[in-house]
Amino acid sequence: MQILVTGGAGFIGSHLCERLLAEGHDVVCVDNFFTGDKENIRHLLANPRFELLRHDVTLPLFVEVDQIYNLACPASPVHYQFDPVQTTKTSVHGAINMLGLAKRLKARVLQASTSEVYGDAQIHPQPESYWGNVNPIGPRSCYDEGKRCAETLFFDYHRQCGVEIKVVRIFNTYGPRMSVNDGRVVSNFIVQALRGGDVTVFGDGSQSRSFQYVDDLVEGLRLMMATPAEFTGPVNIGNPGEFTMLELAETVLRLTGSKSKLVFRPLPEDDPKQRRPDISLARARLGGWEPRVPLEEGLVRTIAYFREKLSS
């Protein structure tokens, strides 16, 4: 098939492009390189079945494809808060443009949504039926509400226009090709530890997250795209193993052998206190999908990537 991946030069997008090419598909990778990096897909450029387009999804795109993975959007607070208006536009206008393209082509389209649609959740773990507890006017709202609106658009295009949609809610994901200045907790801790500086923990470190290795996510995305047309989701894709920030920081220090000290800073506004996916639906509907990579194994691979990145 001919498959379009928006945000294809990003951390997750580049792994997805690589997987699709390995399966024999032709891949059109679209990225405006706001957070994407050409280094992530440089090894794919010589592949005759890979095409790279520099393009912003807030503008219409005219290509001929069979499937669309819509991953384009800055995903860490440091990046999506840099230009919050553009972040909202990327989620909303990007969804409209990709849905319009899918409608014209009669193509199946997958939306990479986020666990952030649950906000500071009052139900734990979070099932897909939970509507969330999101601040619509806070500093994180450009991302949280942008993704929620994108989901609305996907389901309305499905109901009104018959577009074949798939919606996944991605929980915290980490792995090689994360940016050094990504701003998310795993990369922050690893980079700070490898550089020997203080490791910054926000709050008292008791807030919890679930961490999914990127290979497990890509497998989930592929399986979701292949489900029967009537199954739209949304589906949580994440690892239900739950760790506090303090546990994560101490694990990173141990695995890196770093002598860095932990320092504590005030918790950012609207930062969720806990986040863990209920993946019962994914287990039932995604052909036996299950997170395979334990946290320590994934961290060892990610630390090796950043060690090489920082030394080059």
Q: Which domains does the chain have, with CATH numbers?
A: 2-173+212-239+276-292 (3.40.50.720)
Answer whether residue 28 shows pLDDT above 90. yes
Answer whether residue 80 shows pLDDT above 90. no
Q: Which residues contact 291 (CB under 8 A, 6 or more apart)?
A: 212, 213, 216, 238, 239, 240, 241, 279
Provide the pLDDT for residue 312. Answer: 80
Distance separating alpha carbons of residues 29 and 14, to the nearest angstrom? 9
- Evaluate whether 248 touches 202 at the Cβ level (below 8 Å): no
**Quick one: CA dihedral 253, 257, 258, 259, positive or negative?**
positive
Would you place residue 255 in the very low, low, confident or very high pLDDT band (cuts 50, 70, 90)?
very high
Q: How many CA atoms lie within 13 A of 105 on its CB side?
A: 20
Answer whether residue 109 shows pLDDT above 90. yes
Answer whether residue 271 shows pLDDT above 80. no
Helical spans, DSSP H, in 75-140: 77-80, 84-105
Answer whether residue 17 shows pLDDT above 90. yes
Mean pLDDT of 229-248: 96
Answer whether residue 270 shows pLDDT above 80. no
Q: Which of 156, 279, 281 is nearest to 227 (CA)?
A: 281
- pLDDT tens, residue by residue, 219-229: 999 999 999 99
pTM of the entire structure?
0.95
Would you place residue 96 in the very low, low, confident or very high pLDDT band (cuts 50, 70, 90)?
very high
Mean pLDDT of 27-46: 96
Provide the pLDDT for residue 189. Answer: 96
Mean pLDDT of 292-306: 97
Query: DSSP string spanning 265-303?
Result: EPPPTT--S---B--HHHHHHTTT----S-HHHHHHHHH
Mean pLDDT of 154-161: 98
Answer whether residue 76 shows pLDDT above 80. no
Q: Does 143 participate in catalysis according to the annotation?
A: yes
Answer whether residue 288 shows pLDDT above 90. no
Would you place residue 27 in the very low, low, confident or very high pLDDT band (cuts 50, 70, 90)?
very high
Q: Which of 150, 297, 113 is nearest to 216 (CA)?
A: 297
Mean pLDDT of 185-203: 95
Distance separating alpha carbons of residues 58 and 65, to the nearest angstrom? 19
What average pLDDT does the structure give for the chain?
95
E-strand stretches of 38-154:
50-54, 67-70, 108-114
Phi, psi of 133 (to 5 degrees): -140, 80
Please identify which of the residues 69, 118, 143, 174 carries the catalytic annotation.
143
Answer whether residue 282 shows pLDDT above 90. yes
